Amino acid sequence: MDKPLDHNERIPVVKGNFNLKDYEEARRTFRWEDVEPRFTWHRTGKVNAAYECIDRHVDEGRGDKVALLYSDAQRNESYTFRQLRDLSNRFGNALRKLGVKKGDRVFIFMSRSPELYVAFLGALKVGAIVGPLFEAFMEAAVRDRLQDSQAKVVVTNERLKGRIPIQDLSHLEHVVVQGLTGTPGPKEQSFEALMEEASQELAIEWVDREDGLVLHYTSGSTGKPKGVLHVHNAMIQHYITGLWVLDLHPEDIYWCTADPGWVTGTSYGIFAPWLNGVTNVVRGGRFSQEDWYKTLQDHRVTVWYTAPTALRMLMGAGEELVRQYDLSSVRHILSVGEPLNPEVVRWGLKVYGRRIHDTWWMTETGAQLICNYPCMDIKPGSMGKPFPGIDAAIVDDEGRELPPYQMGNLAIRRGWPSMMRAIWNNPAKYQEYFRLEGWYISGDSAYRDEDGYFWFQGRVDDVINTSGERVGPFEVESKLVEHPAVAEAGVIGKPDPVRGEIIKAFIALRQGYEPSEELKQEIRDFVKNGLAAHAAPREIEFRDKLPKTRSGKIMRRVLKAWELGLPTGDLSTMED
Ligand code: PRX
């Protein structure tokens, strides 16, 4: 869809009230330590992220300010910081009554709703590590994550609870169900009844900066999803990137469109806005262009953080639609999760009259690392420049830094505040990211230009990014081969103009099965109902045989080459 990249095209800074006035100056002078006096731990040595997000604003006289504006097709509600403090206190007490202690894993498997945020904050307040689960996950995906993390409690709702296989989860003690109907099943507790009984006064569990905060499961190219652990210390970076990249000012109305099941929805849907004390908009339900524009308009959103797929869909819906809404409140737009096409940036400027600021980071990095700042020119197609305090480089496989325009591994000097602290139960996996002395290796390839802007090129591994959602091919392949008709399956990301990539599966059928459109649909539904809708292959191609190494590993690289009509490269390890 795009013309070749132009490294000299610039969208200049617009006039504004930026929190970060001069990027180059900040790079020279900024120290992470300078941010710390913002937080309570500076005085006490102990901290709790939920206190810093919510209670602190009440204690400092901002209790009546609106913290959360929630809406969906049925509900339209607002909550002040004081109300969120009291509700999360209640939920914290409820969890304590259920025996939850510091360090226990409390998972949240709910649709976006005020109760999700109350549960999230309440769990943090008693020192639990929160594991958010995206609501589209089906039984197999839920089981893997709860088993690996040994979760003690899951908070869910009546619609989703059936996907929690309690019979397989001996460590799981309670399932707290919002909107419970009928008599509670085994291990079930009513969310509403627990809240009703609980006191509004809570003694917060003060923790150390290095204690666990959130556990996000994410996909790699091999093996099951891995649990990326972040700690309370990450909030230093959540706060300061909120101030300088999101450009949050106290009067802002901020909307991050990501679901808290993904890292953007926690780091930038919970922590960054509330640490900065702004009003946070949450919209429930699915994407629709009308609905999104209406949300921007009706809530008078000023800062909007979204994703390329959504922007491409909005672009597809056209200019006419934009004119039907009053979007004049929107001051600052940002994007994350996949490459942001220069086309989209130019369109945004023309139609919204605003620059779209790309940001690059990952589940593992916990917060933004490479960004476009309101005070800096944008080069459409570039991810921007490293955040002050972040040392980013392009290195070869031995860790040697490469000159401008040479493609290599995007690496970050180890030790920023929101860096993941562990892969749950898997220290070897954690070490892999740090295999080059002193560096974190992202798995993305990129290059830098002579002005220090970074340009994304692709993934080094087989991880698929479909509509900004990260999907591991192994997880999908494992599900596919559970289908009785499937003998072997190989899964790749196929380039797609709207979704970035779509999932394509190559399948060899078992004897006795014939290829047909019905069978494709059946297999697709099998993955959708067993794993997750977003993980189901949109395209399926039947083949008599799949390319494999002599040790039996499916060669996805060859499948990808077939798909793109490219040379297959070195085939010396392929079986006959
Ligand atoms: O490949 C990069 C892509 O998304 C991956 C991280 O996915 P996840 O952990 O799900 O986190 C997404 C949101 C933080 C990266 O390895 N990615 C993320 N941001 C960008 C991007 N690709 C291109 N441009 C970006 N701005």
State the pLDDT at residue 3.
65
181: burial class by Cβ within 10 Å (0-12, 13-18, 19+)?
Answer: exposed
Domains of the chain by start residue, with CATH:
463-564 (3.30.300.30)
Distance (Å) from CA 319 to ligand 1 centroid: 28
Percent of the chain with pLDDT over 70: 99
Ligand 1 pocket (Cβ < 6 Å) reads: 218, 263-264, 336-339, 358-363, 383, 442-444, 456, 459, 465, 470
State the pLDDT at residue 43.
75
The answer on pLDDT for 575 being more than 90 is no
Counting atoms of ligand 1 from 1, which one is nearest the CA of 267?
A: 14
Q: What is the pLDDT of residues 433-477, one digit of tens each?
A: 999 999 999 999 999 999 999 999 999 999 999 999 999 999 999
Residue holding tokens 């290195």? 395
Distance (Å) from CA 337 to ligand 1 centroid: 4
The answer on pLDDT for 4 being more than 80 is no
Q: What is the pLDDT of residues 479-501, one digit of tens each?
A: 999 999 999 999 999 999 999 99
Compute the 3-state secondary structure of the chain and give helix, strand, coil in percent, each to the nearest 5. Answer: 35, 25, 40
The answer on pLDDT for 211 being more than 70 is yes
The answer on pLDDT for 141 being more than 80 is yes
Counting atoms of ligand 1 from 1, which one is nearest the CA of 383?
A: 26
Quick one: which of 95, 117, 89 has its CA closest to 201? 89
State the pLDDT at residue 576.
66
Q: What is the pLDDT of residues 516-550, one digit of tens each?
A: 999 999 999 999 999 999 999 999 999 999 998 88
**pTM for this one?**
0.95
Read off the amino acid at residue 389: G
What are the residues whose beta carbons fall under 8 Å from the beta carbon of 529, sequence distance 6 or more? 138
Counting atoms of ligand 1 from 1, which one is nearest the CA of 443?
A: 16
> Cα-flanking dihedrals φ and ψ of residue 369, to 5°?
-120, -40
Distance (Å) from CA 454 to ligand 1 centroid: 14
Quick one: which of 160, 111, 358, 143 has its CA closest to 259? 111
Total length of the chain: 576
Q: How far separated are the first and last CA of the chain, in Å rounded?
A: 38
User: 1 pLDDT band (50/70/90 cuts)?
Assistant: very low
Distance (Å) from CA 94 to ligand 1 centroid: 36
State the pLDDT at residue 441.
97
* Ligand 1, pocket-test mutation among 306, 336, 467, most atoms within 8 A of CB: 336
Distance (Å) from CA 363 to ligand 1 centroid: 8
Q: What is the pLDDT of residues 414-443, one digit of tens each?
A: 999 999 999 999 999 999 999 999 999 999
Q: What average pLDDT does this structure show over 283-303? A: 97
> Considering only CA atoms, which residue is closest to atom 11 of ligand 1?
362
Q: What is the pLDDT of residues 37-95, one digit of tens each?
A: 888 887 788 999 999 999 999 999 999 999 999 999 999 999 999 999 999 999 999 99
Q: With left for phi above 0 and alpha for psi between -120 and 50, is residue 54 left, alpha or beta?
A: alpha
Tokens of 15: 């006039």
- Bridge pairing between strands 105-109 and 76-80: unpaired
What are the residues whose beta carbons fall under 8 Å from the beta carbon of 220, sequence distance 6 or more? 226, 429, 461, 463, 472, 474
> Considering only CA atoms, which residue is closest to atom 22 of ligand 1?
338
User: How high is the ipTM of this complex?
Assistant: 0.99
Distance (Å) from CA 457 to ligand 1 centroid: 12
Which H helix or E strand runs over 239?
Answer: helix 235-244
**C-alpha R_g of the chain:** 24
> Considering only CA atoms, which residue is closest to atom 14 of ligand 1?
362
The answer on pLDDT for 394 being more than 80 is yes
Mean pLDDT over each residue of the chain, to the nearest integer: 95
Distance (Å) from CA 419 to ligand 1 centroid: 15
Distance (Å) from CA 503 to ligand 1 centroid: 17
d(CA 174, CA 80): 29
